Amino acid sequence: MKLSLSNTRIGFASAHFIIGHNKCGKLHGHNYFLNVEVEGEVPEEDDYLIDFSELKEIVMKIVDPLDHKVLIPEKAAHLTVTKDRPEHIRCTLHGDEGKTYLFPEEDVIFLPIRAISAEFLSEYLVKELQEKLPEYELTITVFETPSSSATSTSSDIRRK
């Protein structure tokens, strides 16, 4: 049995940059939204796989910390992050751009991925959700725009 949670309000508004990308190399933002699919067996004692509102609450707890933040990829190859001035983060993008951004620390969140692309965001979110819901097969699609998305599944995570 598979159920899905899909709503443009399940998501986050964040800023990012994709190092080395012609257009997305510049700091800009998206209203990201998600489609979350949960697959498993309906337990004998219940009539549903998982409570929709409970699922929504768990997903929102994972995405809320990303909302209205600048997302920084911790594992990016061409990025140097240093602490600068009190409570400031300096990000130097190497390569074609060779530019530096300075952010207040409170506006930034670091994610353990190599790029803030829909691909790696979906992988990160599946991993986080899988920790909270280990008994299900999960699929998360991250929409960067209504027509551009990337999908990761529990089995993608297990393969790593």
Burial of residue 32 (number of CB atoms within 10 Å: 0-12, 13-18, 19+): buried
For Zn ion, the closer of residues 24 and 108 by Cβ is 24
Q: CA 91, CA 25: separation in Å to the nearest integer?
A: 13
27 binds Zn ion (CB under 5 A): no
For Zn ion, the closer of residues 130 and 141 by Cβ is 141
Q: CA 17, CA 115: separation in Å to the nearest integer?
A: 8
For Zn ion, the closer of residues 9 and 23 by Cβ is 23
Q: What is the DSSP letter of 100?
A: E
CB of 29: closest distance to Zn ion in angstroms?
A: 7
For Zn ion, the closer of residues 24 and 60 by Cβ is 24
Total chain residues near Zn ion (CB under 5 A): 1
Q: Which helix (H) or strand (E) holds 106?
A: none
Which one of 3, 5, 10, 24 is in contact with Zn ion (CB under 5 A)? 24
Residues that bind Zn ion (CB under 5 A): 24
